[in-house]
Amino acid sequence: MILTDSELDLDEIDQDTQIKVAEEAEPIELILPDSICGDRLDKVLSKLVPQYSRGRIQQWIEEGHVLVDGKPSKIKTTMLGDERITIIPQAAAEDNAYTAEDIPLNIIYEDDAIIVLNKPAGLVVHPAAGNWSGTLLNGLLFHRPLLAAVPRAGIVHRLDKDTSGLMVVAKTLTAQTELVRQLQARTVKREYAAMVWGTPNASGTVDAAMARHSRDRLKMSVSHSVLAKPAITHFQRISTGMLERFPVSLVGCQLETGRTHQIRVHMLSLGFPLVGDTLYGKQHLARFFPRQALQARKLGLIHPVSNLPVEWSIPLEADFMDLLERAGMAQL
């Protein structure tokens, strides 16, 4: 079911986080004391209204939301004392991160406790720096407003922006708590299809802890650091093919843990980066696929209300099917 009108790493989810609605702030009126004579405007205001960062104050000054004696001013304007300052606080992008947005969602299954959906490639799951709107969370709040009462709008795990596939969302706090428990106990079954460069062994297991990359904060890496967290991926080679003169393989991956970028990092650690993965893979081969060739195809769990095992599966996305055809591979 596709709704078109009126739809993480587990350890990074804060279960106490509630959906917050930004409120418009009242204008702030100040009369500057004589003691500030000689100081620049932004420096003065960062001291007098410490609840706002200096960078934010500078932005408001540049945009004309700070008036000095009724007129816009500049960041470096020297204050002499006794000026009347009016600050009109503006909401930052992150202040509106939990706003409902009409974003179409492909819902596979829904009942009173859970939603299972097929996330498209290109959709960010949760608001964060650089993506404060247009996320799955925003779409969930629009199509299911009651999710505003559930931490993170019921989201209990994530998929990377350019990874497509199945996700489960909890509709109640009780369901969310139970799903998180299952994820922590590693009883949730998550199977992925991935296309990698090269020909890995017929099957195997990567048991390699992961942590944030020491030099590139956008990346994760296999690590022996005390900060590294356990990460286990089972894989099986399904078929092989060629993209032009380069060998590729279709691999099925099953996760025991759910670390950020886990499959991408683990396959890279074996020497088989994902096709289309420009962050970890071969930049010069990005022309073959516009995203990492990775899809969450199967999801299994114990229903948080019925306590019965349930499972869902979906076919490969059209772009992934086309990639298989170009590589001369048998389809899943």
> What three-state secondary structure class fits 37?
coil
User: Directed axis angle between helix 41-48 and helix 54-62, to 10°?
Assistant: 130
Question: Which listed residue (42, 160, 162, 277) is catalytic?
Answer: 160
CA 285 to chain centre: 25
**Closest residue by Cα to residue 168 from 15, 296, 315, 291:** 296
Among this protein's residues, is 160 annotated catalytic? yes
What is the C-alpha separation between 177 and 95, in angstroms, rounded?
Answer: 26
Burial class, 181, CB count within 10 angstroms (exposed 0-12 / middle 13-18 / buried 19+): middle
DSSP 25: P
Residue 105 dihedral angles phi and psi, to the nearest 5°: -125, 140
Residue with tokens 């032009």: 244
Supply the residues annotated as catalytic.
Answer: 160
